[in-house]
Structure 1
C-alpha cells in the first residue's frame, strides 16, 4: 500500500501573485505618507528617463488609459513633482518635466523599494539574489502570447 500523495507543489504563478499583492500593499502604504503611489513612481520613472514625452505615450508605457495618466500627472503637478511647459488641452501638446522635488520624491520612493528588497531578500547571497532578479526579469520581459508585454517601470 502506497502513502497518500502529499499536497501539490506550490505554483510559482500563485506565489508571485500572492507575494506581489502583499508587497504592493506594503510599499503603497509607505508611499502614501508622501502623497505618492506606485502609479506616481512609474510616471516619474518614465518621465525622468524621457523628458517631454506625451501623455499618451506615458499612458501606453504604464499600461493605463490616457485619462488615467492625465489624472496621475495632475496629482504629480499638485505635489510639485512635475511641471508642464506649453499649452495644454485638446490638440495641444504640453511638454512634461520632472522637477527637482519630483526627482527627490522618486529617489525616496526607490529607497522604499530598496528597503523592502533588503527586508525580503537580505538573507540571500549575492548570487542567489542576482539569479532571482534575472529569472524574474526574464519572465517579466518575455513576450506575451498576445504581444502586449510591458517591461518594468521602476526600480
Structure 2
C-alpha cells in the first residue's frame, strides 16, 4: 500500500457554531470533508494545509496547530492515508471555488452535522497538567473513494 499524507483544516465561523466544509466530486458520488488534500512531494504539512484551503475555498488561513491525527486504509486505491487536521482561522479572501472539476460546493455547516462527515473529535484535557491532548483516531478500512 502506498502511504498518502493528507492535511485538513478545521475552520469555525466567528460564533464557533458552524464549520466550513467542502463537497468533493467523487468517482461514484459527492461527499463532504473539511478543506484539505494530499501533501505534495517536498511540501510541509502546514504549507499543504494552507494551499489546499486556498485552492478549494479561495480563503487565506493561518494555522493554530495540529488538532487531530487519524489514519485509514483505502483498499480500492491501495492507499494508507494519514490525516493531519489543523485548527485554523480565516485571515482574508472570499469563498470561491477555484477547481469546479473537483469541488462542487463550499458551505458553512452546523457543527453537529459537519461532525457526521468529518472526523472531528472532542479535545480532552490532560489530567496531569491541563494541556490539550491531540486525539488519534484509527478510521480503519474505508470502502468509498474519499
Return the TM-score normalized by structure 2.
0.23
Q: Which has the higher helix share?
A: 1
Structure number with greater CO (CA < 8 Å, separation at least 6) is 2
Q: Which has the higher strand share?
A: 2
Structure 1 or 2, whichever has the larger Rg, is: 1
Return the TM-score normalized by structure 1.
0.23
